[in-house]
Amino acid sequence: MTDEKKVDGPAEAVEQPAVEQSPENVPAPTGEVRKIGERHGMFGVTGTGDTSGYGGLVAPVVYPAATERPYGGWFDIVADGLDPLIESVVIHRGEITFHIAPDNLVAAAKLLRDDPSLRFELCAGVSGVHYPGDTGRELHAVYSFLSMTYNRRIRVEVSVPDADPHLPSLCGVYPAVDWHEREAFDMFGLVFDGHPALTRILMPDDWPGHPQRKDYPLGGIPVEYKGGTIPPPDQRRSYS
């Protein structure tokens, strides 16, 4: 038989450890985003007969807001190096993006690569983004840069209108962006002037439209594979 110790009074509450949220789920601080519109329904569509309840959702459409100096730490060092070429700077969720006009893109890339205080040796790629509500700046090209010397990562973002989606190619500065620019051209219709062979990379050459733009139709596009042929090597598309 064992002795039992009786405890009088209520049991003490055990403090539970706080549940940490991942960075992408943490709400942005006040002033870090700006509301530019409102989306109704799950995907912004109406008249679908949706009975799931998602059709009643109302959510704000927000963009990260511009940040004022000082940015803090090495962010200011990079900003000082690019200062004459910067349109605006956005710091969102601890990451920095430099918005630059298309005419200044090549000059900014050369500074990032060659300036001893910057030394961004690698451009990891370029991604297209389509913001139909960003009037006059509907198509964005977002570049990711890495400095292996200083272990720093930044983004550079360039905006162009969908009516004139031209911006300079960076292949002459960072040759590795070759196929990334082709994919952004294929999927979003961004035209990289000066690219050595700006052709589609995923879709067939005669494919209509750019599939990752938000105004691209979902389905209903006839696809015919019967009778497909592969031309002989001397008649295939040249990349030279």
CATH at 77: 3.30.460.80
* 175 exposure class (CB count in 10 Å sphere: 0-12, 13-18, 19+): exposed
pLDDT at 236: 67
Mean pLDDT of 161-187: 97
> Residue 188: pLDDT above 60?
yes
Chain position carrying tokens 């704000």:
60
* Confidence band, pLDDT 50/70/90 cuts, at residue 30: low
Query: Over 80: is that where the pLDDT of 204 sits?
Result: yes
**What is the percent of the chain with per-residue pLDDT over 90, rounded to a whole number?**
55
- Answer yes or no: is pLDDT of 81 > 90: yes
138 in any annotated domain: yes
Q: Are 129 and 142 in contact (CB under 8 A)?
A: yes
Indicate if the alpha-carbon torsion angle 62, 68, 69, 70 is positive or negative: negative
**Average pLDDT value for residue range 174-179:** 96
In a domain, 219, yes or no: no
Between CA 84 and CA 86 the distance in angstroms is 6
Does 176 have pLDDT greater than 50? yes
| Long-range contacts, 175-181 (Cβ 8 Å, 24+) | 176/122, 176/123, 176/125, 177/123, 177/125, 177/126, 177/143, 180/125, 180/126, 180/127, 181/126
Total domains in the chain come to 1
Q: Which domain range does residue 172 map to? A: 65-207
Coil, strand or helix: which one is 87? strand
Whole-prediction pTM: 0.76
Q: Pick the range with the lowest mean pLDDT from 85-89, 132-136, 179-183.
A: 132-136
